[in-house]
Structure 1
């Protein structure tokens, strides 16, 4: 998903429009997570970017999206850009960290 969201609407208030955008992002993430994983992958990881425009977008973690949207609302901006790209990923084991803790 690569999209610029407009927060201004002639009939919808800003707070409701922000809630609608958050819901749309949540729905997209759920839809992507429910897709069949390719062989050898454990979960879907997401590469996210957020900014005022596509050119200004910077990489962020998916968990930061709602906070950044709220910040945009507080700054009274009229639009923002979000890019979310799903990629299959494999979980990293913590065996090395557990072995070091046992030795101490």
Structure 2
């Protein structure tokens, strides 16, 4: 998803526009996570960017969208750019801690 969202609409309140945008982003990410994973992968990773325009967009974490959108609204921006690209990735399991057989006496 590469999209420039506008916060101005002749018939909608800006607060409702913000809620609709946040909902659309969550819905898109959920839809991508529900797709079948290719072989040798075990989760969907998201490469995300956010900015005033496509040229000014910087890399962000997927969980930061709500804060960034709220900050853009408070700054008085009328539009912003969001890019979310899903990619299949493999996450290795964390190694388990090795426990000593000796008992601790103390």
Give the TM-score normalised by the residue count of structure 2. Answer: 0.89
Partner of 1:49: 49
Alpha-carbon shift at residue 92 of structure 1 (Å): 3.0
Partner of 1:12: 12
Partner of 1:84: 84
Query: Which protein is bigger by CA-based radius of gyration?
Result: 2
Q: How many residues align?
A: 100
CA distance in 2, matches of 1:63, 1:92: 22
CA distance in 2, matches of 1:46, 1:90: 13
Alpha-carbon shift at residue 17 of structure 1 (Å): 0.3
Partner of 1:75: 75
CA distance in 1, matches of 2:92, 2:53: 34
The gaps in structure 2 that reach 5 residues or longer are: 101-106
CA RMSD in angstroms comes to 1.3
CA distance in 2, matches of 1:94, 1:21: 36
The gaps in structure 1 that reach 5 residues or longer are: none
Q: From the two aligned structures, give the one with the greater helix fraction.
A: 1
| CA distances 1:46-66 after superposition (whole Å, capped 9, x unpaired) | 000000000000000000111
